[in-house]
Amino acid sequence: MPETKDPKVIKPGDDDWIFKPAFGRVGGGISIKEAITEKERLQITKAVRRNPAGWVAQRKFTSLPLTDTKGESFHLCVGVFTVNGRSAGFYGRISPLPRIDDRAEDIPVLVFKGGNQNER
């Protein structure tokens, strides 16, 4: 997991960090500079300054795209559903952009529990 911090400790203009809404949904409001407009970046920055408790700062990482059999590149996000602090399932989303947002598509996630994946 990428390092996270309270947004109040991040210096303005520090490009090593992105901001994510604490109660975000489908990647909206995430400040990945390469995937949003300057207008959206400024709106997010202003919202973080107004209400830092509603946001988290996450150390930026480079999402390396996967290439499909047709030569198209996609960025992948795998998330975990939790219930009472225990994992209860996984979900996957994929997008041609490095920010997995409302334009991304849902994809299946298959999990093999131990043993050979060819076993049934």
pLDDT reported for residue 119:
58
List all residues 6 or more positions away from 3 whose beta carbon is below 8 Å from its beta carbon: 58, 59
> Rounded CA gap, 120 and 17, in Å?
43
- 56 and 47 in contact (C-beta within 8 Å)? no
pLDDT at 73 over 70: yes
C-alpha–C-alpha distance, residues 1 and 62, integer Å:
13
Please state the rounded mean pLDDT for residues 38-62: 94
Token readout for 102 is: 């409302």
Q: What's phi and psi for 47, nearest 5 deg?
A: -65, -35
Compute CA distances 117 → 22, 39, 51, 56, 111, whole Å.
36, 47, 47, 37, 9
State the CB neighbour count (10 A cutoff) for residue 57: 23
Residue 120, pLDDT above cutoff 60? no
pTM of the model: 0.71
